[in-house]
Amino acid sequence: MSNYFISIGGSGAKTMEALVHLAAAGLMPNDGDLYTLAIDPDVGNGNLNRSCGVMKKYISFQQLHTGATELFKTKMELADPWRPTQDAKQTLDKLMDYQLYKDTPVASLYKALYTEKERQTDLDKGFRGHPSIGSAVMAKSIDIEGDSFGEGPWNSFRQHVEAEATRGEQVRIFLAGSVFGGTGAAGMPTIAKLLQKMFETDHDEGKVMIGGVLVLPYFSFDPKPDDIRPGEMYASSKNFPTNTQAALRYYSMENKGGALYDTMYFVGDTHQTAVRKFSLGSADQKNDAHIVDLYAALAALDFYGTEKKNLRKYAYILHEEDRFTWPDIPVNEEKFAQYIRFILAYLHIVKPVLDLVPEGKASDWKYPWFRDFHLENANCNTVPEVRDFNDYAEGFVTWLLQIGMQPARRVDLIQPQVMGYDEYGNIAVNPDRFVNFDGTDSNVSIDEIWWRISEGCGYDADAGGFGAFLRSLYDACAKEVK
Amino acid sequence: MNRTIRTVVQILAITAIFAVLGIIYYYAGAEIVKGSPVLQKLRHGLTEWKGSFFYVALITAGVCWLLAMIWYVMARWLLKIRYVEDADKRPIWLLFWLLCAIASLALPFILTNYTELRVIQGLGGGIYWLGFSLFGLIGYYFSTAMFTPDHYKYVPFGGSVLHLLSAKKGA
């Protein structure tokens, strides 16, 4: 079995980031590989950059020899992001060859459907909350009716899926995007249709399944006058409810009989979290992680792990309380908690040592695990996988902190004051709170983990180098050591 | 081997090291004194000498064993690691070693009577004091270097070479 994930727009990218973290924790429900493709006209988008960065780091961990473990078990591949607008300074007029049809009835219809501002705005920062632009651009860029599906990542994607379906493996393709913005709202139905056509026979035979999570509104923003140049087109969160209503009506009509998706998930929030800094797009558009991202990624896990006969057409979960606790997260709780413990322990006791000892700034006799695992070569300044893991671990904790800081929701997965930032902005872990960080009884303290890795916990003859150490640390973070 | 069993084995091993060193020193000391003029000067029989020597050796060994055990108990149960900085416990280990050295030199002096002290001079006296001091220092060093609990196992100098009963090593 193989799993495919297509992120569409900023919400899709944030879902992808959450999915990488869940996969890293070994929570993918099957042993299949995960092939990912990101779609965004704004490829410099901060959310997309962050997600792709996390994904690339994860991919680099696959070079680590961790032996037989759930840690990083899912093999991932990331295709180059696909940009529906090939030219950075593309406008809708240019894309539609408006000049060629200028004096024809088609042009009149086109002008009736799109305002001048919509037609002439540069699309380098996405579709600016206008799905009508996005739909037109995507339909134009991908020839749904024809045999050409464009080049680059799509060709590669198609070859992958077809090869696997031919081998008789079941292929599951999952799409994630919002229904209320520009790119996701435009792309979710368009790409689903494309996939239906692309793999028509295999889909009919049940070899290819298509699922999707539609992210409903969960944030709002209120741009200040300085944020926008006069006359500039921008996404407005005031339009989200009407966009959503129209989109849902469309899906209810269009998806009858699974015409678009074999199964659909809807995730949103009745409370609209205010975005800290408004951005039109590009690198500035870096929104904090949200519990909705986590649930959207959990929807992907559900899709990958559910037998076809058990999949529902629509999955609808209502959470009425303003508080989220572990039982609200439908994954192996202890496995996820072990992974969080592993990352926190790494940042608290390992990273400081790797920062100092290989540089000769501290003696290694204090750290038995450092000697036993021959970490003298694990210099975070020169060894890419160590540097990547440091960055990943810090990014993961930041993500976790953001998930926990919902203004209108209590997310009680991590107890208060377990982690935070010190006065220099570095991640700080409170060792006194660490032992019961997930609110459950445990004896896994920092001291206990130190002891376990000093004992060589999790030894695996197939593991080696830095990977063997990470494996040991991961195993040492389990509640019960095997 | 689980941690509890390893702890029991390590404590027994520490005790055994002192016992073996004590036996070696006791018999070696008896052999040395047998042909020396010390017994004539003291007008002691060998058996009487052995009795008093055994008493001094037992007390000295006991004190050094106790210091080694205090280090072990502290490392095993009391010295918790909360931050990376907490791993630096060599000063404590050295302090106990120093106490061992002091005890090894001072205890025989305190426990040996004045008449004996007067005659225990020259080469025989040197061996006597050296033996006692080394006996405690060596006992403490080897027992802690080989059997310190795993999370401080390399705190004693040479621990990485001597540490025994360590679990599986890494890659």
pLDDT digits (tens, 9 = 90+) for A107-124: 888 888 887 777 777 777
Helix then strand then coil, % of chain A, to nearest 5: 50, 10, 40
Confidence band for A20, pLDDT divided at 50, 70 and 90:
very high
Percentage of chain A beyond pLDDT 70 is 87
pLDDT of residue B124: 61
- Tell me: pLDDT of A233 over 60: no
Distance CA A179, CA A215 (A): 6
Cβ atoms within 10 A of the Cβ of B111, count? 15
Average pLDDT over residues A219-234: 64
Residues of A in contact with B168 (CB under 8 A): 455-456, 459
pLDDT of residue A445: 95
pTM of the model: 0.88
Residues of B in contact with A430 (CB under 8 A): none
| Distance from the B20 Cα atom to the nearest Cα atom in chain A, whole angstroms | 28
Are the Cβ atoms of B150 and A368 closer than 8 angstroms? yes
* Residue A209, SS3 per DSSP: strand
Q: Which parts of chain B have pLDDT scores under 70?
A: 35-44, 113-128, 164-171
What mean pLDDT, rounded, does chain A reach?
A: 84
Distance CA A123, CA A194 (A): 22
A29-33, A321-325, A348-352: which range is least confident on average?
A321-325
Confidence band for A347, pLDDT divided at 50, 70 and 90:
very high
Q: Give the A window 28-67 contacts with B, CB below 8 Å.
A: 65
Residue holding tokens 């540069």? A122
Strands A208-215 and A34-39: unpaired
Distance CA B11, CA B22 (A): 17
For the packed helices B122-147 and B90-111, what is the interaxial angle rounded to 10 degrees? 150
Q: Give the A window 277-316 contacts with B, CB below 8 Å.
A: none
- Tell me: pLDDT of A148 over 90: no
Q: Is A372 on the interface with B (CB under 8 A)?
A: yes
Q: Kindly provide the ipTM of the predicted complex, given to two decimals.
A: 0.87
Q: What separation in angstroms does the CA of B14 have from each of A174, B4, B7, B139?
A: 61, 15, 11, 8
Non-local CB neighbours of A256 within 8 Å, separated by 6+ positions: none
Residues of B in contact with A445 (CB under 8 A): 80
User: A353, A366, A449: which to substitute to probe chain B, counting the most B Cβ within 10 Å?
Assistant: A366
DSSP classification of residue B98? H
- Tell me: pLDDT of A24 over 90: yes
pLDDT of residue A217: 87
Structure tokens, A463: 């593991």
Residue holding tokens 């629509």? A314
pLDDT of residue B171: 38
Average pLDDT over residues A245-255: 82
pLDDT of residue A470: 95
pLDDT of residue A450: 96
Regarding predicted confidence, which is higher, A239 or A451? A451
pLDDT of residue A405: 84
A28-32, A49-53, A175-179, B89-93: which range is least confident on average?
A28-32
pLDDT of residue B170: 45
User: What CATH code would you report for A2-85+123-318?
Assistant: 3.40.50.1440
Q: Which residue of A has its CA nearest to B153?
A: A368
**CB–CB of B150/B170 below 8 Å?**
no
pLDDT of residue A221: 65
Parts of chain A belonging to CATH 3.40.50.1440: 2-85+123-318
Are the Cβ atoms of A451 and B159 closer than 8 angstroms? no
**CB–CB of B144/B74 below 8 Å?**
no
Distance CA B84, CA A462 (A): 29
